[in-house]
Amino acid sequence: MAENNFHPNEPTQAAVEASRSRVMNWFSKTATLLQWATMESPLGTIYLARNSAGLCSLNFGVSEAEFLGGLDLRARTENNPDALALVIAQLREYFAGTRSRFDVPVDLSQMTPFQRNVLHAAEAIPAGKVLTYGQIAQDIGKPRASRAVGQALGSNPVPIIVPCHRVVGSDGSMTGYSGGGGVASKKWLLHMEGAL
């Protein structure tokens, strides 16, 4: 007698496909869309991503897989250089020495209010100048928070655009950098801007 492989509680292949189709349809309508692109720079390949609010991720010194793996896993991703054309154009001007500040929307909504205050203070530092972690702490009204300032800068999702490289130790030392390449990249950026 032939063995019957039919199990009444198992879904059919057609039911599985229909379910997958419903899930993908729902996902395409409700999941956040992250558009991303790359550009070449003196620091290597820069990876950029934006959501509907603005630039939400910038990284370099990593692989494409590492960059994409660091984005919101609940989001849809789409390689779309046109969506990041303004950021890419301004970064090219920056590396050519014709731009020192960026005028692009940035989304820092995933940061805490303290982290956002620190990053906004870093944004105000002009090219060619540096401040210390202590000076940033003082500027945001938290004079004893130098270490927390360093941690907030270390979680900057959009280095270069928000110039956390312009913040140094109290003795002028290069104590860390959230961008790819670490301290070597920080020194390179400060040298390019004329601060070293």
- pLDDT, residue 19, reads 59
- pLDDT, residue 41, reads 97
| Residue 164 known to be catalytic | yes
pLDDT beyond 80 at 34: yes
Cα–Cα nearest to 91, from 154, 157, 162, 153: 162
DSSP class per residue in 85-112: HHHHHHHHHHHTTS-SS--S-B--TTS-
CA gap 32, 72 in Å, rounded: 9
- pLDDT, residue 24, reads 55
- pLDDT, residue 29, reads 54
User: CATH for 32-95, among 3.40.50.970, 3.30.160.70, 3.40.47.10, 3.40.50.720?
Assistant: 3.30.160.70
Q: What is the pLDDT of residues 152-168, one digit of tens each?
A: 999 999 999 999 999 99
- pLDDT, residue 70, reads 93
Of 162, 164, 167, 189, the active-site residue reads 164
CATH 3.30.160.70 domain range(s) in the chain:
32-95
pTM: 0.82
State the CATH architecture for 113-193.
Orthogonal Bundle (1.10)
CA gap 99, 69 in Å, rounded: 31
Q: What is the pLDDT of residues 94-123, one digit of tens each?
A: 999 999 999 999 999 999 999 999 999 999
